[in-house]
Structure 1
């Protein structure tokens, strides 16, 4: 018996990574593409939040942050147009009751 086995648990912790649900990565890429022509610290923070979102519901809730970034860089009308164009992608991964347009 090694010295390590005296303080290690009998069944070591196993990481369990879950793959995102089907379609989530496609929606994530669409949200990121909305920010392609935006730059700055706040936009980079939104991108990071999009990359770390684990489910479609989180991405849906991040629409506001994406909207704010686009409206700051361009205009509110452009932000509304871009966010509303994302709704068809969300229809594939979210229940209809969660979908509302800006």
Structure 2
């Protein structure tokens, strides 16, 4: 039944599903709102990545891609304004030292 364990000796697998960290859902909703008026395959892929991210750090790392899509479909100023608007949301789920390295 557990024959797969012979291939991964000493490898502990944690099969328990964990709920998202507190505040991650709020940040996820804000990221999706930034992408709301963006269309196309790349936008859809990015929305999927936002939906499947489990940690705030994963969402933080998607900012650059969000910036690129908004810049392409709207303008640089619009992208900068939208990304800057996300900083306060990330401030509730990430350490200040991580956000200050922007």
TM-score (normalizing by structure 1)? 0.84
**DSSP 3-state at the match of 1:28:** helix
Which segments of 5 or more consecutive residues in structure 2 lack a partner in the other structure?
A: 3-12
Please provide the CA RMSD for this pair. Answer: 1.8
> 2:17 is matched with which residue?
17
C-alpha distance in structure 2 between counterparts of 1:101 and 1:75, whole Å: 24
Aligned residues: 92
> 1:4 is matched with which residue?
none
Quickly say closer, same or farther: Cα 1:14–1:66, change in 2 above 3 A: closer
Quickly say closer, same or farther: Cα 1:43–1:96, change in 2 above 3 A: same
> 1:67 is matched with which residue?
67
> 2:51 is matched with which residue?
51
User: What's the CA shift string for 1:58-93, capped at 9, x where partnerless?
Assistant: 100000011011001100110000000000000000
Greater Rg, structure 1 or structure 2? Answer: 1
> 2:82 is matched with which residue?
82
C-alpha distance in structure 2 between counterparts of 1:29 and 1:60, whole Å: 13
Structure 1 consecutive aligned stretches of length 4 or more whose deviation exceeds 6 Å: none
Which segments of 5 or more consecutive residues in structure 1 lack a partner in the other structure?
A: 1-7
C-alpha distance in structure 2 between counterparts of 1:79 and 1:41, whole Å: 19
TM-score (normalizing by structure 2)? 0.84
Alignment partner of 1:36 is 2:33: no
